[in-house]
Structure formats: structure tokens, C-alpha cells
Structure 1
């Protein structure tokens, strides 16, 4: 039996034509029968570093009876010179989250995946305590089960007040050991007894992992990295997936 949570995440590779650029994480989100891939905006474009891929490739399982079978699925990022993904702004500036619509008819016939839905998002008055246990499901440094093409999970805890915009931005902090390649990973918390409402995916989608947080005054020789990460609140997905 495969934990359904692992089937929500997929490895994302970025390309400029045939040249491979970077590796990251994405996950599936479904709303009103529409399917989306969610990842970090900086995976698709990063103006500061000049990162401008023209397509991405995700890995899909193609046989429910043999998860060692997979295929790459290419998604162009531009059509007629315009980007095909959606991103957004809030009062703090650019939100580091992007969504791409996926054409279900273009997927392999026996594609195996699981998707979060709006039912997995926390209610506006949801209380998530400081220090609450989280999981970050992704592909750190591209690492994964290369036989079954599965992501791995890192434990994390809530490190800032959940529901409060940290320093005015639309994210909260998590305390976790993360690496490059985890950008775009779902950050989830187990819902006790959630099987009744959420079936075999009893996880609350709290956010989207973006990047490690550091401070410019840290002495690289004397001070360890903070080990804190920016996690954008998942409710942005309701805005980005509006019809």
C-alpha cells in the first residue's frame, strides 16, 4: 500500500528548450473538476537570477499496479509569447506561488495521482498552534525513491504565529531542514480523525514551501544557518484557481 499523500507531489524539472536547468517540487490541486499543478513562482521565473525556463517536465505514474512505471510529461510555460501560469500579488508584494492548469485529456490514460481540494484548506478560524508538527513532502536536491519515483517527507514545526503575516508577507515560518529542490512542496498537518471528511487523504494543506530564510548579518564562519523557512499560506490557491 502506498501512502496517498506521496502521490500528491511530483518532481518538477525546468528546461530552456532542451537544456535542463533546475529541479523542484510541485503538487496537484483540484477544484470544480479542474486540475492544477502548484509550485513556487521562482521555479517558473526568477527575474533576479535570470532564470527563465520555457517549459517544465513532471513525472507521472502510469500503472496503478506497478509504481515503478512512470513517464515524463512536458508542459510549455508560454503560449503565443504569454505565460500560461497564474501568480498573484498581495499587500506585501509578489506571492511566491504559481499554478498551471493541466489538461486531463492530455494525461496518460492510467495516470496515478492524488490531488488536494479546497476541502483540505484550513478554515479561516482554524487554530494551528506554535510548534505544531508538519510534513514537507518533496524532492530535496532532487533526492527521491528512484525505483518507485516517490518523494520523501521532512518533519517540520510551525515556527511563527499561524494566521499572522510574518513581517507583512503572506507566509508563516516553519522550522525544518530543507534543501534546494524542495521549493513548491506541500506543507501539511495531519487531521486527527479526518478520514470521515477527507477519506484516505486526511491532511490539512497549510501552505507551499518557498525558500529558506536567512539574515545578511550572519557570520558564515561562526553562525549556523537559521533553519527557518518561508511557507506561503495555502488559501492563495482559492484566488489563483478561480474560473
Structure 2
């Protein structure tokens, strides 16, 4: 028991040391002039690549590698050219700031990575993701908290705050989920305490208005965009997602196989679960987000009878109809 207590105290000491280092290093880097910053950046990139090569051939967990890539990306961002384009200018139409990378944790061990997005209703703000990201009994996935990155400076998108969100309180789950006539729905939302968020946090969110068609017809074959973090891949300097092109692959408005989802045709990967499935609007949007939120990406679809040797994967995916958000975000 004493060894466990000693180990716990040591971990706490290391966390405190890292927090202190996280305060000192950015302060030092900001004192460098432009030439020194460029030289330091080149040196860090070279040494980081050497360290990455060593770690990839060593018996090191994915959690260590993930933390390494995250912090290297952040420090390289701090060393970026100060004369780069002003990040305070509009980023596309704000779409990249709607979506966040989710890391699930159980105690001190990272479990998985996924995607999620902000959805606001009245004065409430939610993170939307797939239900299996927060709990998946079939695979023994039982995280107790998630982490997301929140941008804190509109002029410098390298500045983020890691925000931890508990999944349970007093033994009860804090997220909301839904069922319908077809059974369980693989969508979950968890409300953020907006009064606890940093005052300068930079968030763009979808609203119930983005669920409306506004008189525009949606049909099979229409082009779509899926914004997320496939395999955790993203802009590690600015902490922004990437987009994959897709199309509607089943009769839209019809519940595929009597379930509450439709199919998309897109190349997706692990880490995309919970990503918003969007259709670009032809009508101008007063809110600056000219997108219709059609669905929540869940998982890839395939045929169990497919010959893995002779037949390629179908390349189809399941997207739950986004109108389920009206049910799970309804005020208590």
C-alpha cells in the first residue's frame, strides 16, 4: 500500500512540475527575436524527429506518443513566425471552430480519440459525439472523463486550453442519450458549464436553426462534408480539424433498415466518430455558418458476407439524423 501511495505522490509531483514548466517555457520562447525563433524552430523539428524515430521503435504506449506530439505541436506553434497571416481574420466561415478532438480517459490512462462538435440551444451549450465514445459495453470501453481543446485567443490559434469534463457524478452518468422506435441511438450530448469556461474562449456552435432545410431539398447523391479528426489527424499547431468529402448514399428522410440513420459514401477512419455531417447551403446565412447539420457520423458500414479477399469494403458509413439533438437537448 505504501508503494502505491508513494507512486501516486510522485505522479502528483510530476504533474506539478509539468505545469510549472508549461508556464516558464512559453514565456522564454516569446522573448526570442524572429531569427532566433526560426533557428529554434528548425532545431526543435530536427530533434523532435529524432526522438520520434526512437520512440516509434521502443516499447512506449500510445498515450506517451500522443502527449509528445501534442506538446511538440504546441511549442512549434509558439515559435511560429509572428508575421504569419493574422489569425483574427475569419477562418473560412468559422466551421473549423465548431468541431473538437475528444480524448477519453479512465483515471490516468487515455482510452481513445474521437470527434465532437458544439451545439447550443437557448442558453445551454453542449458537446455532441457518438454514444459509443462515452460508453461501449460491447468492447469494454468505460471512460470516466473526456478532454477537449478550447481556443482562447482569436488572434493566435496556437493558444488552447485543455478542458476536462467528467462523465459521472455520484455514480450517475452526466451525458444524455436517446432511443427511438428503432432502438438505441448512437448519439450523446454532455452539457458544458458555461459559467466555468474561460471568458476569452473561442467557440462556434450549431443551433436548432442549422437543422432546418430552409426550403432547400436534400436528396440521395447530394455532396456532404464530414469535419473531424480521423485517426486523431489534425493541424497540431492550430488545433483545427480536417474535412472529408462525402455524399448521401441512401434515400434521405427514410430510416435505413428502420433505424434512425442514413448512409454516407465517404472515406472515414477511427477517430471520426461523433463528427458533424454537413451540407453546404446555397442560401446566405446570417449567422456566418452556411451549413445544414444533417447528421452525426457514427461508424463505417459493411457486409458481414463480404469476401475480404475478393471484395473491397463498401466505403459506406452510418450517420444518425441530427434532429435527434432536439430531443436530447430539450430542457429538463
2: CA distance, partners of 1:64 / 1:126? 33
Greater Cα shift, 125-134 or 150-159: 125-134
CA offsets 1:77-101 (integer angstroms, 9 cap, x no match): 0000000000011111100000000
User: Are 1:199 and 2:277 an aligned pair?
Assistant: no
**Does 2:153 correspond to 1:63?**
yes
Aligned counterpart, 1:216: 304
SS at match of 2:269: coil
Are residues 1:48 and 2:99 paired? no
Say if 2:213 and 2:292, in contact at 8 Å, map to a contact too. no
The residue that corresponds to 1:235 in the other structure is: 323
CA-CA distance at 1:126 after TM superposition: 5.8
Q: Deviations over 1:171-191 (max 9, x none)?
A: 000000000000000000111
Which blocks of at least 5 consecutive residues in structure 1 are unaligned? none
Alignment of 1:79-228 (within 5 A): 79-123=169-213, 127-195=217-285, 198-228=286-316
- CA deviations over 1:100-135 (Å, ceiling 9, x no partner): 000111112211110000000034986311110100
> If each structure's strand is expressed as a fraction of its own residues, which one has the higher value?
1
| Mapped contact 1:194–1:203 kept (Cα < 8 A) | no
Is the Cα contact below 8 Å between 1:31 and 1:241 reproduced in 2? yes
What SS does structure 1 have at the residue aligned with 2:209? Answer: helix
Do the aligned partners of 2:115 and 2:274 also contact (CA within 8 Å) in 1? yes
Relative contact order higher in (CA < 8 Å, ≥ 6 apart): 1
Separation in structure 1 between the aligned mates of residue 216 and residue 183 of structure 2, nearest angstrom = 25
Structure 1 position 221, deviation (Å): 1.4
CA contact (8 A) 1:135 1:153 kept: yes
RMSD across aligned C-alpha pairs, in angstroms? 1.2
Q: Which of structures 1 and 2 has the bigger CA Rg?
A: 2
Normalized against structure 2, the TM-score is what? Answer: 0.71
Secondary structure at the residue paired with 2:195?
helix
Query: Once superposed, which parts of structure 1, at least 4 consecutive aligned residues long, lie more than 2 Å away?
Result: 122-127
Choose 40-49 or 214-223, whichever is displaced more: 214-223
Cα separation, 1, equivalents of 2:212 and 2:121: 15
Higher helix share: 2
Structure 1 pair 48–126 and aligned structure 2 pair: CA distance change class (3 A): farther
Judged with a 3 Å threshold, the aligned counterparts in structure 2 of structure 1 residues 115 and 104 are, in CA distance, closer, same or farther, namely same
| TM-score of the aligned structures, taking structure 1 as reference length | 0.97
Q: Give the number of equivalent residue pairs.
A: 241
Q: Check whether the contact 2:115–2:273 (CA below 8 A) recurs between aligned residues.
A: yes
For the residue of structure 2 that corresponds to 1:48, the secondary structure is helix
